[in-house]
Every structure is written in structure tokens, then in C-alpha cells.
């Protein structure tokens, strides 16, 4: 930029007559201070008056003219004019140009100002062209990276990048390769969707890329005035294909070489320094993006194998002490679990039930009259639970009572008259009425529903059904004794072979989580129940010590002690059994 400003200022000072000094100051106001970048005559610094005029033009944002006497000249000389004009690029001030000319009339000053403004327009155009030229490589890099990122899969992205570079950099062929183990493999060639994997061309290009990776620097033929490089493979490729100019750039991801980029041109279009630098910048950005896509496109087993190799390399390498410490702790923990023993317990959901449940049913058809208890109440033997409506029975009792009295009176009259036949008939009717009366009385007695023993109401609440009809034999209440319970455990079918009668364990109920109750297995039901978690079997256990707070229907978690096993087996036997079953299902 300084050379451009110096040439422009010299040309302007030659065009304008009477110029003794000139200066160009460039910078961005409010961001960096303006500093002189060019002076005329060359090698002579600008005078303080000229610099002061330039700063004044910058402050006022317009051209100015100032007249003063040059102290360097002899006394009595004519005054000189300092003419300063701001330089604008797209309406933005980027600098100031100021010249010192011999004193002229006002019309001559305006002419000088006009010439500076016209000349500054030319300078502004040159500055814009230079800025555009400096941004062109950046645009190429960003657009190539955009082409790479637009593709979903690695092969399409690599081919698109190679084709884009061949078009933008005027190359006959651009190839992209990645390391496969220790050898380079060509993965994409410009303007080619498919290519054979073992052709001589691909082998030559792969050897060229190996030279660039081994050199860890760009390899170019014809070579430049730089360090001596091995270019044997490059020369062989140039002789075979007729492309006399070849440039190979290593692709790196961090500090690790992952591949290479090879560009081929005719011999009359060698790679200059700017193009090589552009290719190096492209490789720094595009290389990691292509590597990421390549890694994502691999098969899952390949990804797993590479992750395992990376883990082993870090584990047995020179660094990563934290990983080594964690691995050592895991090995020690596994060894401890493999040799130590613990109590193996089978865990299952548990429900507390009464050992005996007595159903209280309706003795006859009728309607519910009263109810004094509901589910959860503790009752005693003979306690009134509820009653049925007995009005119809009492009317029937009165009817049979009156008939019995009538038959008894007629029976006495027949005895007085010695009518044996009538005595036999009336005697039978009197006995029939007595029997029906006793039956009705018994039915009236059963209208009161009493508790058969001390216990707790498990189910039944007639208070919500007063006046409702009931059928004979319909269950009204279920009562369980308070001191006799059984625990029903739903054991998974995978654990049922380990369960046997007589085994002990413990249970914690949701209502009593802080107290572990001892249990003993008494019965294994040979019928499975299907549920959301799989098939389960009912295992009945007895509580060896039943606290007074227990109530039927409580739920919790039970654990049955099976015996001593290795801790590693306790924690892994479920998974091992599943793997065995899965492997057997796939075996022929």
C-alpha cells in the first residue's frame, strides 16, 4: 500500500505546477491514528504546517487551503498554500492528501483542489482493487469449504472439493487421498465419480502424496528456491501424465497427518508462491472437515474397533495418567469381586395378606338397612357389622303367630268334642304354623350381620349402599384375622429355580420402611402369572414376628436369602444367562 501511495503522490505532484512538498496520510479515524505513508520529494519529511493542514482537513471532513510563509526559504519570499483533501472509499475517510504549492489567486487554489480530488478518485479506485484482490483467496477458501459442508457423505464431499479446486485454480486434475494404515489411498479425483482402485495412475498419485506426507510440507515441481526436497514420485507422475507442474499439500488434523491434496497443471502454468499458500490454507480447513465426514461414513464395527485401538493406545502409552489410574482401580475392583463372596438374595415385590379370610354374605334377599363399619376397621367377634331391612319378616312373623294361636284354639275345641279326625288335622296345622314361625324368627335373627371372629375388615363398605337390594349369598364383607398373615412374593421366573421351601429372608413394607421383618418360605405356587415385567410365580412366606401395626394389603419389597456366591457372579449372572439364551437361539 505504501508503494502504491508513493507512486500516486509523485504523479500528482508532477501534474500540479508549483508543488514543493506533498504527503499522503492513511488510516481509519476512530480506530487507528493517521500516519504519513508517502512523502514527496522522496526521502523528505512533511513540514509541520503541511501536517497541520492535513489534520485540519480530517477534522472538518472537507478540503481546506491554508497560506503561510515557508521558514526554509529566504526572508521576503512569497507565501505558500497548503492544500489538503480527504480520501474517501465508499463514503468512508481512509486518509488525507496534502500538497504545498506557491501562493496563487483563489481561482488557482480551486484548480489545485480540483486536481487533487480527481487524482484522489483514481487512488480510491486502486485501493478498492487492491482490497478486492487481497480478499479473493479468502473467498476461494470459504466457498470451497461451503461446497464440502453442503454434501452429506464423504465421497460426494471429496469429489465436489476436488472438482471445485480444479475449476478455480485452473488445474488439469486435483486428487484427494487419505491414509489407510500406513499407505496412502486415493479417495477422490476431480470430474470423476468412479475410478478403478488398482490402476497405475492411482498408484503414482498415492506415491506422490506419500512424498508430501513424509516431507510434512508442500512439495512442488518445478521447485522453487527453497530447501531441497525428494520429488522422485512427482517427476515420475509428470513424465507419465504430461502435467509438468505438480503441487502436493499434506492434510493434517491437529498435529496428525491424515492425507494429502495433489494438484496438476501444464508445465507452462507453474504454481507460484501465492497459489501454494492458498492451497495450504485450503488444506488446513478442508482437511479436518473431510476427515470428519470420512469417520462418520464408516461402518459401526469399524468405528468401535478404532475407538478400542485409541483407548488401548492411550492406556498403554506414555501419557494419560488419570486414565491409567482409573483402569488400575477397575482391575482391582474386578479382582476383588471375583474372589470375595456375598449373600445372594432374590428380590421380589411382596403383598401382605391374611392367612384366613372369612366372607360374610347376605343370609337372604332383602335391602340394606344400616352399616356401622367399613374396610380397614378392626372388629371383634359378635360385633354388629350391619343390618338388613326386616319389616316384611316381622309382618310374616305376626301372621304365623296369629295362625298358630287360631289353630291352637280350634285344636282345643276339637279335643272337647272328641272329633279325632279334626284333632289330627288341626294338630298338623298347628305344628306347621309353629315351624314357619320358628323359621321366620331364625331369619329375623340373621338380619343382624355379626363378626365371626376378631379381625380387620379387608373389603366391604355398606354405608354407600343403604337401601340397595342384595341377593342371598352375596358377599358383604371380607374379614381377616389380626395375628395370622401370609406374605405373597411375585418371583421372576428366572429366579424361581433357586427358591426352595424353608429358606429365610426379610421384607420391608412401604408403610414400615425402617423395619425389616423376617420371613420363611412355605409354599411355591406352580402356576405362572404373566405381567408387564414378564412371567412371575407366587411364593408364599410366613412372618416369624408380626408387629401390631400390620394390616392386610400392605405392599413392599422382599428378599429371599439363597446362599453364598461370588460377588462378581451375583452382579453379572443375569447378563450371562441372557447372553447364553440369545446365543443358543441363534445357533443352528
Q: Which residue has the higher pLDDT, 226 or 94?
A: 94
Structural domain includes residue 18: yes
Whether residue 521 is predicted with pLDDT greater than 90 in this model: the reply is yes
CA separation for the pair 557, 559 (Å, rounded): 7
Structural domain includes residue 397: yes
Asked if 60 and 172 sit in the same domain, the reply is no
End of a domain among 135, 164, 196?
135
Report pLDDT digits (tens) over 101-122.
876 666 667 777 777 777 776 6
At 560 the pLDDT is: 94
Structural domain includes residue 584: no
Nearest to 347 by CA among 101, 533, 585: 533
Asked if 294 and 157 sit in the same domain, the reply is yes
Structural domain includes residue 175: yes
The residues near 422 (Cβ < 8 Å, ≥ 6 apart) are 410, 414
Lowest mean pLDDT among 434-443, 491-500, 505-514: 434-443
CA separation for the pair 282, 295 (Å, rounded): 20
CA separation for the pair 322, 334 (Å, rounded): 18
Strands lying side by side in the sheet with 64-68 = 35-40, 19-26, 92-102, 80-89, 64-68
Residue 103 has phi, psi (to 5 degrees) of -55, 130
* Distance from the first to the final alpha carbon of the chain: 80
Asked if 159 and 265 sit in the same domain, the reply is yes
Asked if 209 and 278 sit in the same domain, the reply is yes
Residue 46 DSSP symbol: P
Lowest mean pLDDT among 2-11, 122-131, 199-208, 379-388: 122-131
Average pLDDT, integer, range 356-373: 78
Asked if 62 and 10 sit in the same domain, the reply is yes
Whether residue 76 is predicted with pLDDT greater than 60 in this model: the reply is no
Q: Chain centroid to CA 309: how far? A: 25
At 350 the pLDDT is: 93
CA separation for the pair 571, 70 (Å, rounded): 100
Asked if 528 and 556 sit in the same domain, the reply is yes
Q: Strand runs (DSSP E) across 199-307, as ranges?
A: 219-221, 245-253, 256-265
Range of the domain at 223: 151-299
Average pLDDT, integer, range 80-96: 77
Structural domain includes residue 574: no
Sign of CA pseudo-dihedral 197, 201, 204, 209: negative
CA separation for the pair 457, 488 (Å, rounded): 19
Residues facing residue 504 across a β-bridge: 520
Mean pLDDT score of the chain = 82
Asked if 162 and 262 sit in the same domain, the reply is yes
Asked if 350 and 491 sit in the same domain, the reply is yes
Asked if 21 and 164 sit in the same domain, the reply is no
Nearest to 157 by CA among 289, 302, 295, 298: 289
Looking up residue 539, the CATH number of its domain turns out to be: 2.40.30.170
At 86 the pLDDT is: 83
Structural domain includes residue 12: yes
**pLDDT band, residue 59 (cuts 50/70/90):** confident
Report pLDDT digits (tens) over 566-577.
999 999 999 999
For residue 177, give the C-alpha cell: 487421498
CA separation for the pair 453, 509 (Å, rounded): 26
**pLDDT band, residue 135 (cuts 50/70/90):** low
Asked if 519 and 533 sit in the same domain, the reply is yes
Strands lying side by side in the sheet with 173-180 = 183-189, 173-180, 256-265, 245-253, 219-221
At 347 the pLDDT is: 93
User: Cβ–Cβ contacts within 10 Å for residue 557, how many?
Assistant: 15
Asked if 6 and 78 sit in the same domain, the reply is yes
Considering its fold, how many domains does the chain have in total? Answer: 4
The residues near 365 (Cβ < 8 Å, ≥ 6 apart) are 469, 470, 471, 472
Structural domain includes residue 194: yes
Whether residue 376 is predicted with pLDDT greater than 80 in this model: the reply is no
Whether residue 134 is predicted with pLDDT greater than 60 in this model: the reply is no
Q: Is 322 exposed, middle or buried (0-12, 13-18, 19+ CB in 10 A)?
A: exposed
Report pLDDT digits (tens) over 504-518.
999 999 988 888 999
At 558 the pLDDT is: 94
Report pLDDT digits (tens) over 308-351.
888 888 888 888 888 888 989 999 998 998 899 999 999 999 99
At 507 the pLDDT is: 93
At 556 the pLDDT is: 93
Whether residue 299 is predicted with pLDDT greater than 70 in this model: the reply is yes
Asked if 119 and 26 sit in the same domain, the reply is yes
**pLDDT band, residue 10 (cuts 50/70/90):** confident
Structural domain includes residue 85: yes
Q: Which residue has the higher pLDDT, 31 or 444?
A: 444
End of a domain among 135, 167, 189?
135
Report pLDDT digits (tens) over 151-177.
888 888 899 999 988 988 889 999 999
End of a domain among 474, 492, 508?
474
Nearest to 188 by CA among 180, 197, 455: 197
Looking up residue 79, the CATH number of its domain turns out to be: 3.30.450.40
**pLDDT band, residue 7 (cuts 50/70/90):** confident
Amino acid at each position: 500500500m505504501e508503494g502504491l501511495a508513493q507512486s500516486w503522490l509523485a504523479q500528482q505532484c508532477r501534474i500540479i505546477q508549483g508543488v514543493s512538498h506533498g504527503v499522503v496520510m492513511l488510516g481509519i479515524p476512530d480506530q487507528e491514528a493517521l500516519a504519513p505513508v508517502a512523502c514527496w520529494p522522496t526521502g523528505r519529511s512533511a513540514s509541520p504546517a503541511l501536517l497541520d493542514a492535513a489534520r485540519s482537513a480530517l477534522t472538518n471532513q472537507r478540503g481546506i487551503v491554508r497560506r503561510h510563509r515557508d521558514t526554509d526559504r529566504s526572508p521576503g519570499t512569497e507565501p505558500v498554500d497548503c492544500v489538503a483533501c480527504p480520501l474517501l472509499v465508499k463514503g468512508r475517510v481512509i486518509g488525507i492528501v496534502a500538497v504545498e504549492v506557491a501562493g496563487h489567486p483563489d481561482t488557482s487554489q480551486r484548480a489545485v483542489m480540483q486536481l487533487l480530488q480527481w487524482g484522489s478518485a483514481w487512488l480510491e479506485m486502486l485501493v478498492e482493487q487492491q482490497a478486492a484482490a487481497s480478499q479473493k483467496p479468502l473467498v476461494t477458501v470459504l466457498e470451497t469449504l461451503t461446497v464440502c459442508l453442503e454434501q452429506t457423505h464423504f465421497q460426494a464431499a471429496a469429489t465436489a472439493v476436488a472438482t471445485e479446486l480444479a475449476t478455480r485454480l485452473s488445474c488439469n486434475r486435483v486428487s484427494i487421498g487419505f491414509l489407510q494404515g500406513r499407505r496412502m489411498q486415493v479417495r477422490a479425483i476431480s470430474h470423476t465419480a468412479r475410478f478403478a482402485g488398482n490402476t497405475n495412475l492411482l498408484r503414482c498419485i498415492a506415491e506422490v502424496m506419500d512424498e508430501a506426507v513424509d516431507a510434512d510440507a508442500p512439495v512442488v515441481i518445478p521447485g522453487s528456491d527453497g530447501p531441497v526436497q525428494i520429488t522422485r514420485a512427482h517427476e515420475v507422475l509428470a513424465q507419465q501424465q504430461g502435467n509438468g507442474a505438480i503441487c502436493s499439500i499434506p492434510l493434517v488434523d491437529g498435529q496428525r497427518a491424515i492425507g494429502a491434496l495433489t494438484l496438476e497443471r501444464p508445465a507452462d502454468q507453474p504454481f507460484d508462491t501465492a497459489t501454494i499458500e492458498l492451497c495450504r490454507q485450503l488444506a488446513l480447513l478442508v482437511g479436518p472437515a473431510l476427515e470428519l465426514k470420512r469417520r462418520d461414513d464408516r461402518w459401526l464395527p469399524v468405528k468401535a474397533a478404532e475407538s478400542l485401538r485409541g483407548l488401548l493406545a492411550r492406556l498403554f502409552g506414555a501419557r494419560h495418567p488419570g486414565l491409567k489410574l482409573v483402569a488400575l482401580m477397575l482391575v482391582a475392583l474386578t479382582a476383588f469381586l471375583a474372589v470375595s463372596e456375598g449373600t445372594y438374595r432374590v428380590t421380589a415385590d411382596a403383598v401382605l395378606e391374611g392367612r384366613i379370610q372369612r366372607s360374610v354374605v347376605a343370609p337372604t334377599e332383602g335391602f340394606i338397612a344400616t352399616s356401622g363399619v367399613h374396610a380397614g376397621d378392626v372388629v371383634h367377634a359378635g360385633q354388629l357389622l350391619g343390618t338388613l331391612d326386616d319389616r316384611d319378616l316381622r309382618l310374616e312373623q305376626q301372621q304365623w303367630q296369629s295362625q298358630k294361636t287360631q289353630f291352637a284354639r280350634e285344636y282345643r275345641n276339637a279335643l272337647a268334642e272328641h272329633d279325632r279326625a279334626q284333632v289330627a288335622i288341626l294338630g298338623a296345622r298347628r305344628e306347621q304354623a309353629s315351624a314357619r314361625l320358628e323359621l321366620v324368627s331364625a331369619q329375623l335373627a340373621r338380619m343382624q350381620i355379626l363378626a365371626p371372629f376378631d379381625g380387620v375388615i379387608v373389603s366391604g363398605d355398606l354405608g354407600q349402599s343403604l337401601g340397595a337390594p342384595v341377593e342371598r349369598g352375596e358377599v358383604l364383607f371380607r374379614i381377616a384375622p389380626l395375628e395370622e398373615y401370609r406374605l405373597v412374593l411375585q418371583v421372576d421366573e428366572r429366579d424361581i429355580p433357586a427358591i426352595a421351601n424353608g429358606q429365610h429372608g426379610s421384607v420391608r413394607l412401604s408403610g414400615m420402611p425402617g423395619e425389616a421383618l423376617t420371613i420363611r418360605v412355605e409354599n411355591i405356587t406352580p402356576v405362572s402369572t404373566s405381567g408387564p415385567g414378564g412371567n412371575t410365580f407366587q411364593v408364599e412366606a410366613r412372618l416369624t414376628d408380626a408387629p401390631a401395626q400390620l394390616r392386610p394389603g400392605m405392599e413392599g419389597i422382599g428378599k429371599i436369602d439363597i446362599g453364598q456366591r461370588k460377588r462378581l457372579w451375583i452382579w453379572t449372572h443375569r447378563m450371562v444367562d441372557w447372553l447364553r439364551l440369545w446365543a443358543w437361539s441363534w445357533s443352528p
